[in-house]
Amino acid sequence: MTVRTPDSGLVALEPRYEAMTRVLPFVFLPIPLLPYALTQSPGAGAFGITAAIAVLTGAWYAWMVLLHPGWTQRQWLMGVYVAGLVSLIMVLTIRSPWFAFFSWVGLMHAFRYLAGAWRWAASVPVALSIGMAQTGGFRRPTVAWALIVVVVACIDLGLMGGFGMLGMRSEEQNQARKKMIAELAAANASLHDMMAENTGLQTQLLTQAREAGILEERQRIAREIHDTLAQGLAGIITQLEAADGGGAEKGRRIANAKRLARESLTEARRSVQALRPAALEDNRLPDALTKVAERWSAASGVAAEVVATGAARALHPEVEATLLRVTQEALSNVAKHAAAARVWVTLSYMEDLVTLDVRDDGAGFEPGDVPGDAPADAGGGFGLTVMRQRVRRLAGSLEVESEPGSGTVISASLPAIPLAPGCPDEEGGAEERR
């Protein structure tokens, strides 16, 4: 990610500026030779020596800085370099004041490559050589001339050093700003990545939540179909099959089948509207279980006894609906599979728990491990699985105890969640059931 700041344009120019400052010494080094030749009329030998010193200066700079950029990080080496450069500048300026035009390179490099007091120490001879050039160049020294040179050099040093320090400060600030911008860009980039990751996670969570919702609803519909339509149809088939035999029972069996059909239809409609079971609409749980057992007894011909122990009280509608459905499926299983003579339904209210046992004295079976304790050779029965799902949804547990020939006990244990005050059920309204 690119961060644009007001000085982005200047920052972009920096490499070019840097390249220019590297090349400029080679421009300013030969130029003074021309006015030197024209104004001081040196002999060929003297000119040659001056030109050779100029070439040496250029070569010194090229060797120590341009060809070995790594050396610029080594303080003592740069001390040697600046000392050499300043000495050459002094020699050149003594030979011709025109080389003062090149002296600024000495100052620039003293500030760039040296640290602390060494910068000023290296700047003093450069300032003196510039001062000397400004006062007309080197001549036979007199006290007055030397004083003037020193004063001019001090002024030069103050001005140039001041500007040099300002330049250094702004360079430092520039570097700090660049570092800050780079850090900001990195932070922005990681923020950007994190946001992208976050969006991905959110999408994933939404998908998972939607899938979980779909699965939960699918399971609810499966449970409702099993406990209303499938159970009812199984009962109707049993009654009609019994009626087929004719005899005195026929009328009663057909009446049972009709009643079962009506009840199943009502239950199916209520489950479409997500309402609680009809049996709990007007009755408290112990009464509802008693009525269910009585009807079941009448239809199946198996004696059923319902006992409630402990302090019976209104519980959360979901808890009551679950216990009712478990009882209905357990009874339905007894009728279908147990060939039992008797069934005992026990509802026990304890302080924090409510338990339900449905025991029969029928054929029993060998409970398998999974799913839902169905026997290992079960042909895809769903009733025990549904019971277990319902009970687990409310943080309860379901036990199946059975053995061939020894009857079966289905035990459900649920937290006795009290009916919340103000709950629609309290006011006689329809309670949502899931």
Site residues (CB under 6 A) for ligand ATP? 226, 230, 234, 333-334, 336-338, 360, 362-365, 372, 374-375, 378, 381-384, 408
What is the Cβ-side half-sphere exposure of residue 102, based on CA atoms within 13 angstroms?
30
- 238 forms part of the interface with Mg ion (CB under 5 A): no
From the CB of 330, what's the least distance to Mg ion, in Å?
A: 8
What secondary structure letter does DSSP report for 7? T
From the CB of 301, what's the least distance to ligand ATP, in Å?
A: 16
- 300 forms part of the interface with Mg ion (CB under 5 A): no
d(CA 296, CA 290): 10
Q: Looking at beta carbons only, is 285 or 400 nearer to ligand ATP? A: 400
From the CB of 327, what's the least distance to ligand ATP, in Å?
A: 12
Written as six digits, the tokens of 412 are: 């459900």
Q: Looking at beta carbons only, is 254 or 363 nearer to ligand ATP? A: 363
Q: Looking at beta carbons only, is 96 or 333 nearer to ligand ATP? A: 333
From the CB of 406, what's the least distance to ligand ATP, in Å?
A: 10
Binding-site size for Mg ion (CB under 5 A) equals 2
From the CB of 261, what's the least distance to Mg ion, in Å?
A: 19
Q: x/- binding map, residues 189-208, to Mg ion, per CB under 5 A?
A: --------------------
By a kind-dependent CB cut-off of 5 to 8 A, residue 295 interacts, out of ligand ATP, Mg ion, none, with none
By a kind-dependent CB cut-off of 5 to 8 A, residue 337 interacts, out of Mg ion, ligand ATP, none, with ligand ATP
Written as six digits, the tokens of 374 are: 């169905």
Separation of first and last alpha carbons in the chain: 51
Give the containing element (helix H, strand E) for 84: helix 75-95
Do the strands 353-360 and 303-310 form a parallel or antiparallel pair, or are they unpaired? unpaired
From 233-241, 299-307, 378-386, 410-418, give the range in contact with Mg ion by CB under 5 A: 378-386
Beta-carbon neighbour count of residue 108 at 10 Å? Answer: 17
Contact 377, 365 (CB under 8 A): no
**Identity (one letter) of the amino acid at 100?**
A
From the CB of 290, what's the least distance to ligand ATP, in Å?
A: 20
d(CA 189, CA 170): 28
By a kind-dependent CB cut-off of 5 to 8 A, residue 61 interacts, out of Mg ion, ligand ATP, none, with none
- Dihedral of the CA atoms 365, 369, 373, 374 (nearest 10)? -60
What is the Cβ-side half-sphere exposure of residue 320, based on CA atoms within 13 angstroms?
27
From the CB of 206, what's the least distance to ligand ATP, in Å?
A: 34
From the CB of 327, what's the least distance to Mg ion, in Å?
A: 13
Residue, CB closest to ligand ATP: 381
**Identity (one letter) of the amino acid at 54?**
A
From the CB of 407, what's the least distance to ligand ATP, in Å?
A: 8
Closest C-alpha among 313, 311, 228, 316 to residue 274:
228
Q: Looking at beta carbons only, is 302 or 416 nearer to ligand ATP? A: 302
Written as six digits, the tokens of 242 are: 């019994």
What is the Cβ-side half-sphere exposure of residue 230, based on CA atoms within 13 angstroms?
16
From the CB of 264, what's the least distance to Mg ion, in Å?
A: 15
DSSP states of 184-243 as a string? Answer: HHHHHHHHHHHHHHHHHHHHHHHHHHHHHHHHHHHHHHHHHIIIIIIHHHHHHHHHHHHH
By a kind-dependent CB cut-off of 5 to 8 A, residue 42 interacts, out of ligand ATP, Mg ion, none, with none
By a kind-dependent CB cut-off of 5 to 8 A, residue 362 interacts, out of Mg ion, ligand ATP, none, with ligand ATP
From 5-13, 120-128, 333-341, 351-359, give the range in contact with Mg ion by CB under 5 A: 333-341
- Strand partners of residue 413: 355, 397
Q: Looking at beta carbons only, is 96 or 408 nearer to ligand ATP? A: 408
Q: Looking at beta carbons only, is 106 or 372 nearer to ligand ATP? A: 372
- 362 forms part of the interface with Mg ion (CB under 5 A): no
- 333 forms part of the interface with Mg ion (CB under 5 A): yes
Beta-carbon neighbour count of residue 77 at 10 Å? Answer: 15
By a kind-dependent CB cut-off of 5 to 8 A, residue 299 interacts, out of Mg ion, ligand ATP, none, with none
CA distances from 429 to 10, 235, 373, 433 (A): 76, 30, 36, 12
- 383 forms part of the interface with Mg ion (CB under 5 A): yes
- Strand partners of residue 145: none
Residues that bind Mg ion (CB under 5 A): 333, 383
